[in-house]
Amino acid sequence: MADRGKDRKAAGTKERRTAGHPADARDIAYRLTRRVHAGDGYLGLLIRYSLDSEKLGARDRALVAELAYGVQRHRNRIDHVIAAFSNRPLKELNPEVLDILRLGVFQLLEMRVPPHAAVNESVKLAKRHLGKSAGYVNAVMRGVAEGLADISWPGPEDLRSHLEVVYSHPRWLVEYLVKRFGEKEALELCRANNRIPTLTLRINPLRASRDELLEVMASEGWQGRPSELLPESIIDVSIPYPVLLDWLERGLCVVQDESSMLVSRVVDPREGQVVVDACAAPGGKSTHLALLGGEGCRVIAVDRNAKRLKAMREAVKRLGLENIAIRTGDATHLQRVVDVTADAVLLDAPCSGLGTLRRNPELKWKRFPGDIANLAGVQSRLIRGCAEVVRPGGVLVYSVCTFTLEETVGVVEGFLRERKDFQPDSPASLIPEILAADLSPRGYLQILPHRHGMEGMFIARLRRKA
């Protein structure tokens, strides 16, 4: 997995800014898009740190996010339009020219920006960054503006091409989804992946109650409603960005999806227990485990990335938690890092992240078929290492924010074939009844965006025989 600390440094760097041209929303969106396509940046962090360094109003901040995310979410759909009006194959275009066109066409295709504005702003970007290519950008954008209504699209009768182009998923992933879920569900999942997600907050009861924050939101006319699944969650949140930052800095809440909260619920930490979070950074699940277990529960958070653990220490301090010990180490050799046997170990393993495409649409273009097998190998080594720390009678919870068979059932079942002293332990009593109905016969839970309205997450609870 990439070192997301690099995103902070990259996003804070002012690059290719022509003298006399202060950055505007489209300029920032272009530079972010280039960073995502040219490197290994994660869009969410790039946007966050870029916007923190720029003086933008709320409207421009929203425009940057809409443009940058929109290009990633609809990239194949956009490229289909560009190809229809370009006299050169897209693969022969300068990548910088292509990204300017993508931003411009997205405005015409999905934002309904007036054609003259989309054309003019695209040409302005090209002049600012590329010079000679402005004429080509102007010609293509004018062609799109005049002929967009006449574009032909692959219909649902050719489902794979339809999902690839209209719903903008790479062909290899389309083939995988159809094979994994069937045509009907593959279509529903691709639709769900393209929906703009809402914000979900997990309340920190040491600082505020859910009712208190809901009352503040209601009094100010902001949006948000209590989760029906988890008492610590507020979903569909829409509050001013400065207010969100203030709440986060004061430790009133954290941003966390409900599917991630369910992972900690399945671990089920208790007073007096020792719980290890083996791949802990940035700490969302560790801090949740510490709250669920109470002051008498000792949580040991382990991660190999010291930079991310530094940020985690700051988060733990903000939340007012005193029952978390943070250690740097490799979970494939967890015994070398943790000097006790644990009542429960959580392995929230690095994975393909394909369950999070609503929030991380750039992953569609960063993942390739070979990645799945490679990641499954890493996950298998990690689960073996974590098992050594679980006491007899203790629990090992494995979770990944994806749905591939190789990274989910394949890893767990492979582990169980090796370790006869572990067996599935159904979490039915630990999760909402409506979700318990979706448990597999072996007690595994696969959450999917189109079924559950949450990020995709696989959770398996295993118990070591006493």
Please say if 279 is a catalytic residue.
no
Decide if 118 contacts 145 (C-beta within 8 A): yes
Q: Based on the fold, state whether residues 414 and 373 are members of the same structural domain.
A: yes
Average pLDDT taken over every residue of the chain: 93
Average pLDDT on 398-408 reads 98
CATH number at residue 132: 1.10.940.10
Would you say residue 323 has pLDDT above 60?
yes
Place of tokens 């997450």: 457
**Confidence label for 45 from pLDDT (cuts 50, 70 and 90):** confident
- If residue 105 lies in a helix (H) or strand (E), which one and from where to where? helix 95-109
Q: Is 51 left (phi over 0), alpha (psi -120 to 50) or beta?
A: alpha
**Confidence label for 40 from pLDDT (cuts 50, 70 and 90):** low
Annotated catalytic residue within 279, 297, 351, 401: 401
Average pLDDT on 355-382 reads 96
pLDDT at 14: 37
Would you say residue 1 has pLDDT above 50?
no
**Confidence label for 50 from pLDDT (cuts 50, 70 and 90):** confident
How many structural domains does the chain have? 4
Q: Based on the fold, state whether residues 243 and 330 are members of the same structural domain.
A: no
Question: In whole angstroms, what is the distance from residue 147 CA to residue 143 CA?
Answer: 6
Residue type at position 353: G
Would you say residue 7 has pLDDT above 70?
no
Question: In whole angstroms, what is the distance from residue 425 CA to residue 305 CA?
Answer: 31
Would you say residue 328 has pLDDT above 70?
yes
**Structure tokens, 112:** 């309904």
pLDDT at 23: 61
Sign of the alpha-carbon torsion through 214, 217, 221, 225 = negative
Q: Based on the fold, state whether residues 293 and 378 are members of the same structural domain.
A: yes
Last residue of a domain, one of 150, 183, 207: 150
CATH number at residue 218: 3.30.70.1170
**Confidence label for 15 from pLDDT (cuts 50, 70 and 90):** very low
Proportion of the chain above pLDDT 70, given as a percent:
94
Q: What is the per-residue pLDDT across 172-194, written as a single tens digit (0 to 9) for each?
A: 999 999 999 999 999 999 999 99
Average pLDDT on 125-148 reads 94
pLDDT at 22: 46
pLDDT at 20: 38
- Residue range of the domain that includes 331: 258-464
CATH number at residue 411: 3.40.50.150
Q: Based on the fold, state whether residues 224 and 272 are members of the same structural domain.
A: no
Q: How many CB atoms lie within 10 A of CB 160?
A: 16
